[in-house]
Amino acid sequence: MNVIKKVGMTEQVRRFRARFVQGGGTLLGSVLTGRLLQEVVYEETGRWRERIYGPLTTLVLFLEQVLGGDRSCHDAVARGLSLRVSQGQAPCGLNTGAYCQARARLSAGLVERLGRVVAARLCAAQPKQWLWHGREVKLVDGTTVSMPDTKANQGAFPQNHEQKPGLGFPLARLLGILSRSCGAIVEWAVGPCEGKQTGETAVLWRLMDRLLPGDVVVADRYFAGYFGIARLYQLGMDVVIRQHPLRRTDFRRGERLGRRDHKVQWARPPRPVWLDPATYLQMPEFLVMREVRSGDLTLVTTLLDAKEVGKQELIDLYAQRWQIELDFRAIKSVMQMDILRCKTPDMIQKEIAVHFLACNLIRTVMAQAACLACLLPRQLSFKASLQILNAFEENLRHAPRGRLPACQDIVLGSIA
């Protein structure tokens, strides 16, 4: 790499980190280090020709496009022009063609890897008092998003089969795994809503290996199947899930632990069509499950010790599952991801990944603000945090090194 490109990359990395309050002296101020950011860009992008819209420049403009209220490519190009002028570089044109081509060239692996790296490092660095019994709790749920009605999008993400051709929009299913404590999106998958093995449970099965042993998975009753719970338990995780309505809970059976609280054995059901014989034989013949009920809410869990985890603690933990519904609503309404704009499946995947990366970067700033103010990240407003970050964008990106820490302190204090 030539010297000019290397110097330019270093400056871009510095401004990128400053934009999202990284580099300060706070506990979570080094979730995304400059060295890590450069390594990910080089490894995922490889060699590239020197252009107006290099990989990191394109990524920054794409992020600003999803964070801003306008969301148009013309707005992103205008931001790029303003950035070049502020750095003393030659101005570029306002034609959006070059920027759109740069977005198409942008490595999807770069965006997705950065999003997952930020989430993983944030979860690993968060204070222990934010955890539940010293363990990370992962919330699981799905949602859907629509997109432009193009032939390519319809081929990859067909519209609802009940809609007539030409009267509906392509629909994608998203499954997300989020941190209960800091709200980071640690894993996700995108797929169609129609066809075999496209349901949320099937998608979660493919993501289970990416979770960490020791995690506690909290999900709604759609995920209360025997094989999903057994697989998570085999991987070293515990679950707290609402009981499926088709499974009967009889508190006269099993080992009594308290009022409406007992341990029972679940027998392995017959092999379903989607599960191959080898994997089926690896599943345990019985699962020891704990069932608890409060009012009309019945939960099942692999946390069997009633002295270590009480019934009310399980009820309170499951109540926090609603946070993932609020998180998806924030991403889809505040960040306007409910209706995507790209016209090809590859770009749809990339657009979703950019939204999730932006969300994780905002969550990182919120976590810093909460840590400094002795609060919990969930006590802070996602929308207000985004508004403050956007208001201070120019100050953070262009503040002299000597004034940057004071600016970052104002941003974090304002968010808290």
Six-digit token string for 275: 């599960």
* Residue 91 confidence (pLDDT): 85
* Residue 195 confidence (pLDDT): 81
β-bridge partners, 12: none
What values do phi and psi take at 98, rounded to 5?
A: -65, -40
Burial of 402 (0-12, 13-18, 19+ CB in 10 A): exposed
Instruction: For residues 91 and 320, give the distance between their C-alpha atoms in angstroms, rounded to a whole number.
Output: 50
Instruction: For residues 381 and 377, give the distance between their C-alpha atoms in angstroms, rounded to a whole number.
Output: 9
Closest CA to 416 of 133, 143, 21, 67: 21
- Site of tokens 């493919």: 206
Instruction: For residues 125 and 214, give the distance between their C-alpha atoms in angstroms, rounded to a whole number.
Output: 16
Helix (H, G, I), strand (E, B) or coil at 314: helix
Six-digit token string for 412: 């974090």
Work out the number of other CB atoms within 10 angstroms of the CB of residue 134: 8
* Residue 50 confidence (pLDDT): 73
Angle at 328 between CA 356 and CA 34, to 5 degrees: 25
Closest CA to 240 of 138, 172, 146: 138
Which distant-in-sequence residues (6+ apart) come within 8 Å of 1 by Cβ? 9
Q: What is the mean pLDDT of each run of 10 residues along the chain (416 residues)?
A: 61 90 80 92 83 89 90 89 83 89 93 96 94 96 95 92 85 96 96 86 92 95 94 96 93 94 95 93 95 95 96 96 95 93 95 96 96 95 95 88 89 95
Q: Distances in Å between the alpha carbon of 215 and those of 79, 125, 137, 208, 345?
A: 41, 15, 6, 11, 32
Question: Which strands form 137-146's sheet, in the order they lie side by side?
Answer: 185-192, 171-179, 137-146, 216-219, 238-242, 297-301, 286-294, 261-267, 255-258
* Residue 3 confidence (pLDDT): 46
Which residue intervals of 321-402 are DSSP H helices? 322-329, 345-372, 382-391, 393-398
Which distant-in-sequence residues (6+ apart) come within 8 Å of 289 by Cβ? 229, 263, 264, 265, 266, 300, 301, 302
Work out the number of other CB atoms within 10 angstroms of the CB of residue 372: 17
Six-digit token string for 252: 């006269």
* Residue 4 confidence (pLDDT): 46
* Residue 319 confidence (pLDDT): 96
Buried b (16+ CB within 10 A) or exposed e, 303-337: beebeebebeebbebbebbebbeebbebbbebbbb
* Residue 257 confidence (pLDDT): 95
Q: What does the CA dihedral 85, 362, 50, 34 come to, rounded to 10 degrees? A: 110
Instruction: For residues 219 and 299, give the distance between their C-alpha atoms in angstroms, rounded to a whole number.
Output: 10
Closest CA to 364 of 29, 65, 39: 29
